[in-house]
Amino acid sequence: MYYVIVNPASKSGRGRQMWTELEEIFKEKEISHKVVFSKGIGHVTQVVAKLTAPLADNPDAEPIKLIILGGDGTMNEVLQGISDFDRVWLGYIPTGSSNDLARDLQLPKDPLEILSSIIEGKVTRTMDIGLLTYDNPPGETSRLHAQEIPDTRYFSVSSGIGFDAAVCEEALASRFKNILNKLGLGKLTYLVIALKQLIAARSVSCDIYLDDAEEPIHLDRFLFTAFMIHKYEGGGFKFCPAADSADGVLDLCVVGNLPKPVLLLALPTAFFGKHYIFSQIKHYTASKVRLTASMPLWVHTDGEVYAKSDSIIISCISQKIKLMM
Ligand SMILES: Nc1ncnc2c1ncn2[C@@H]1O[C@H](COP(=O)(O)OP(=O)(O)OP(=O)(O)O)[C@@H](O)[C@H]1O
């Protein structure tokens, strides 16, 4: 039995349309399945929590096979709901606008091909995930996620603090994103918002502690740090070309102490992973990182933004999820 969870709103409605096409395969092959359409923020997490709740009196219960149709944000909601990772097998069919997870997993472009391969069941792998912990109680909450914010949050692609998260926060609330997505110009939203956020970014200092280091990496003029499980974020920015989603460590792209116009020059080079030619952009690896900033900044996990924080801990949990591919 497959449980299929569809975010009908992903990529401004493409999720629902894609499921209509894919369901034919289940019907033709008479494969037992149940489908759930997500109804809004947090619904996917609730559904997954119910499906994967531990069965105290039946420890040998069958594995749960979930197939997710959505973007990186939907996968993020899935992770928050899983209570017993050992029982769950995840299949992923990207229908989002950024699809950074699918990009690094090198999934085929054709959703039918992905689904057929999942059902064949020949290719499986495990994958690291990240865990964000707000060291202080989370501060100001995002306009789209004003409900109570838990102290921790998993991520499958990346987390980030500062400029990159501020861009996500504004884009999530942007009415123009949907319109431009429908015109195939979704990336333009991010470009315009990125310019606006860069101009508005205030001077912030920050300290980054890698693993057990007592001395931090200090930046007087901090812009952002991306903590990556995978190579790409933001719809194809190859912030950490060396990231390996099965190596048990986070790859960090740390950006600061550089003039804003230089960042503007550097960002396009990040599409090709060449931004480290700018000496102020640094790459580090660690399995656990603590970052403190002189003022609260937006934090994202997989592009979803919930709250600001001035102190976060990010860790990598090795080989935590099992994928059907
Ligand atoms: N029925 C729904 N209507 C509106 N929003 C929804 C619905 N179901 C889920 N959501 C919201 O959709 C967001 C996740 O979207 P998702 O990331 O999957 O697609 P996307 O934004 O198009 O893609 P990407 O993250 O790859 O850019 C989450 O914020 C989630 O709460």
**Domain of residue 223, residue span:** 130-320
Burial of residue 174 (CB within 10 Å: 0-12, 13-18, 19+) is middle
CA of 13 to the centre of ligand 1 (A): 10
Whether ligand 1 lies within 6 angstroms of the CB of 70 is answered as yes
So what's the ipTM on this one?
A: 0.94
What are the pLDDT tens digits along the chain (325 aa)?
999 999 998 876 778 888 998 999 889 989 999 999 999 989 999 999 999 987 766 666 789 999 999 999 999 999 999 988 999 999 999 998 889 999 999 999 999 999 999 999 989 999 999 999 999 877 888 877 667 788 999 999 999 999 999 999 998 777 666 666 666 666 677 788 888 999 988 889 999 999 999 999 999 999 999 999 999 998 899 999 999 999 999 999 999 999 999 999 999 999 999 999 999 999 999 999 999 999 999 999 999 999 999 999 999 999 999 999 9
Q: How far is the CA of 92 from the centre of ligand 1 (A)?
A: 15
Best residue among 41, 92, 103, 230 to mutate for probing ligand 1's pocket (most ligand atoms within 8 Å of CB) is 41
Domain boundary residue among 69, 90, 122?
122
CATH of residue 249's domain is: 2.60.200.40
Which residue do the tokens 């987390």 mark?
A: 159
| Count of domains observed in the chain | 2
Region of residue 280 (left: phi > 0; alpha: psi -120 to 50; beta: else):
alpha
CATH code where residue 31 lies: 3.40.50.10330
- Residue 229 in any domain: the answer is yes
- 165 with 300, same domain: the answer is yes
Residue 147 CA, distance from chain mean position: 20
Domain boundary among 122, 143, 175: 122
Residue 36 and residue 139 in one domain: no
Does ligand 1 lie within 6 Å of residue 156's CB atom? Answer: no
pLDDT at 61: 75
Judgement on whether residues 92 and 164 belong to the same structural domain of the protein: no
Q: What is the predicted pLDDT for the residue at 17?
A: 86
Asked if 200 and 169 touch (Cβ cutoff 8 Å), the reply is no
**Separation of first and last alpha carbons in the chain:** 16
Strands (E), the chain: 2-6, 33-37, 64-70, 88-94, 124-134, 152-155, 158-162, 206-210, 217-219, 222-228, 250-256, 281-286, 288-301, 304-324
3-state secondary structure (DSSP) of residue 267 = helix
Does one domain contain both 165 and 211? yes
pTM of the model: 0.93
- CA-wise closest residue to 163 among 124, 202, 207: 202
Q: Clarify whether residues 225 and 252 are in a common domain.
A: yes
The letter for the amino acid at 313 is I
Rg (CA), the chain: 19
101 and 159 part of one domain: no
Which pLDDT value is given to residue 313? 98
Please report the sign of the dihedral spanned by the C-alpha atoms of residue 290, residue 296, residue 297, residue 298.
positive
* Closest to 250 measured CA to CA, from 216, 209, 222, 278: 209
Q: Are residues 139 and 174 in the same domain?
A: yes
Confirm whether 325 is domain-assigned: no
Res 122: pLDDT: 86
Both 150 and 104 in a single domain? no
Co-location of 282 and 146 in the same domain:
yes
182 in the same domain as 267: yes
Same domain, 157 and 254: yes
Rounded to the nearest whole angstrom, what is the distance from the C-alpha of residue 203 to the centroid of ligand 1?
Answer: 32
According to DSSP, residue 42 is labeled T
The reply to whether 111 and 142 lie within a common domain is no
Report how far residue 229's alpha carbon sits from residue 139's, in angstroms, rounded to the nearest whole number.
25
Domain end point (choices 71, 87, 122)? 122
Compute, in angstroms, the gap from residue 142 CA to the centroid of ligand 1. 15
Determine if ligand 1 sits within 6 Å of the CB of residue 74: yes
